[in-house]
Chains A and B, each alone.
Chain A
Amino acid sequence: MSLDDFFRQNILDHYQNPRNFGTLDHPDISAEDSNPLCGDKIRMDLMVKDGRVEDVRFTGVGCSISRAAASMLTEEIKGKTLEEVKRLSRDDVLELLGIELGPVRLKCALLALKTLKVGVYGVAEWSGEDDE
């Protein structure tokens, strides 16, 4: 796989122009998580109406993979029900990114999903198992 394939144009586009970047003033759900390996941090804010994600924002610092994954996820979940969000898997994230990743970079790619699930389930309710 060449460098151009690895840093696919859509990853670079989401990295340089992240969608739904920022915070919400009164989010119904807000969660923050970090990846101790690389210092990446992500916060996800959600507005929920009738069990659906009405609005979403993310902020944080991170590499292209973690930021692009977060940006793509925000587009993906807008309008979806919380039940649908709960069903999102690592494969969904990898499909959005369109690349294969080794075990180390996988953690970067999945930080946004992990943060999102912590928020949607609540820390106490989510075992964290399905993405490890």
Chain B
Amino acid sequence: MKALAPERPVDFAALRKDFPILDRKIYGKPLVYLDNTATTQKPLSVLRALDDYYRNTNANIHRGVYRLAEEATEAYENVRHKVARFLNARSDREIVFTRGTTESINLVAYAWGRRNVGPGDVIVITEMEHHSNIVPWQLLAEEKGAVIRWIPVDPDGRLDLRGLDSLLAGPVKLVAVTQVSNALGTINPVAEIGRRAHAAGALILVDGAQSVPHMTVDVQALDCDFLAFSGHKMLGPTGAGALVAKRAILEAMPPFMGGGEMIREVTTSGSTWNDVPWKFEPGTMNIADTVALGAAIDYVSAIGPAAIHRHGQALAAKAMEALRVIPGVRLYGPPAAERGGIVSFTLEGIHAHDVAAVLDREGVAVRAGHHCAMPLHTKFGIPATTRASFYVYNQPSDVEALAAGVRKAIETFRP
């Protein structure tokens, strides 16, 4: 697609032709894909990049000295540069490729956490975290005798930061917080939280799984020490994402996994490590999917993250308006202006699975469950919600299909 100037209005409807899966029929109805928080669909340019890599460039990287290996290495390392520019990292060396957000967070928990967190030390997280930003810290805390403190969520689904100073008192080593809640859509003030974490002598990790695909994320402006994200939530293939971290921190961290490529020298008495970031990329990495992630970043960059954010927010606002007037619907989270393109709701007397099942028969794909955020759902006293989430190819007509499906669920389950 053509590069567009950021201020030019984007014709989002015209993007749909780039996504072959949107031509699919589900139970005879056009697919309305509203589970973009879980994963996004892939445009032709990404599919072609994947195909092209295997047809024309495939070789193992960093090892061979033949032409093909040089090309593969260059393709892979070019994506590192693209990621660095996309997120305004200081250098390509701050980008460590991983399978995605979960692996990135685990990398920090194992490599940085094991060295820097000890008995009685504190890790601060929030009640709205995805399990991937809870469980690694619980594992670390259990192993090291560390303590986890929770930033609470208020009834409107915002972080309640009034008690942050006391949460940050004492031997706090890390604050790990999501920039956008995958369950509520809430956008959190991570720059402010980061400033206060740094003032308290702690590092900050930002879970960017739902922010990097949807809005302008600048790691220097955020001044975050670690940022984790997944490529598959921004039009890329599954299994390719990254950890972005300050170089000095990466330099001081021991390796995460041992193997080929991550070493400088291996002897029978021990090993020394490769430079960062390759120190953290052992074995044969997910080369093809990472290369295709580059095509996804090109696609997203051409639209512009700011325009994508406005588009998602507008669809969320429209969905909230359409759902609010349906009897029995309860919406969760803050007003549309304070969230990304995510809307979660319950329908009185009807389980989220049943709502999703009726929607499915109408071709509308939504998520139903606790969205890997059980502490949040426990806090709100609900076992499950139905969640609609939007991305670049979604249209106002998708919101209408969602609302019509919710009304059908009521007809089906309320005699």
Contact = CB atoms under 8 A, between A and B. Distances in A.
B361 A64 contact: no
Nearest to B414: A16
Contacts of B413: 7, 12, 15-16, 64
Contacts of B27: 1-2
A49 interface: no
Contacts of A3: 358, 361-362, 408, 412
A6 interface: yes
Nearest to A41: B383
Interface string B389-415: 000000000000000000010001101
A105 B353 contact: yes
A105 B352 contact: no
Contacts of B357: 6-7, 63-65, 105
The residue among A37, A63, A64 with the most chain B CB atoms within 10 A of its own CB is A63
A38 B383 contact: yes
Interface in B26-64: 27
Contact of B351 (A12, A36, A62): A62
A62 B354 CA distance: 9
Interface in B196-246: none
A104 B351 CA distance: 15
Nearest to A104: B353
Interface in A1-30: 1-3, 6-7, 12, 15-16
A119 B362 CA distance: 39
Interface string B353-368: 1100110011000001
B318 interface: no
A65 B361 contact: no
A53 B415 CA distance: 33
Contacts of A12: 412-413, 415
A63 B353 contact: yes
Nearest to B351: A63
B358 A38 contact: no
Contacts of B412: 3, 7, 12
A40 B361 contact: no
Contact of A39 (B354, B361, B362, B384): B384
A5 B374 CA distance: 33
B271 to A, nearest CB: 40
Chief secondary structure at chain B's binding surface = helix
B352 A38 contact: yes
B383 A40 contact: yes
A61 interface: yes
Contacts of B354: 63-65
B368 A39 contact: no
Given A7-B412, A12-B413, A16-B415, A38 B351 contact: yes
B353 A38 contact: yes
A37 B369 contact: yes
A86 B362 CA distance: 38
Interface in A62-119: 62-65, 105, 108
A62 B369 CA distance: 11
A13 B370 CA distance: 27
A15 B413 CA distance: 9
Given A2-B361, A3-B358, A64-B354, A39 B383 contact: yes
A14 B354 CA distance: 14
A71 to B, nearest CB: 14
Contacts of B361: 2-3, 6
Nearest to A2: B361
B377 interface: yes
A19 B19 CA distance: 47
The residue among B27, B354, B374, B413 with the most chain A CB atoms within 10 A of its own CB is B354
A40 B384 CA distance: 9
Contacts of A64: 351, 353-354, 357, 413
15 contacts: A2-B361, A3-B358, A6-B361, A7-B358, A7-B412, A15-B413, A36-B374, A38-B353, A38-B383, A40-B383, A62-B351, A64-B413, A65-B357, A105-B353, A105-B357
Given A36-B374, A64-B353, A65-B357, 14 more contacts: A7-B412, A7-B413, A12-B412, A15-B413, A38-B352, A39-B383, A41-B383, A61-B383, A63-B353, A63-B354, A63-B357, A64-B357, A105-B357, A108-B353
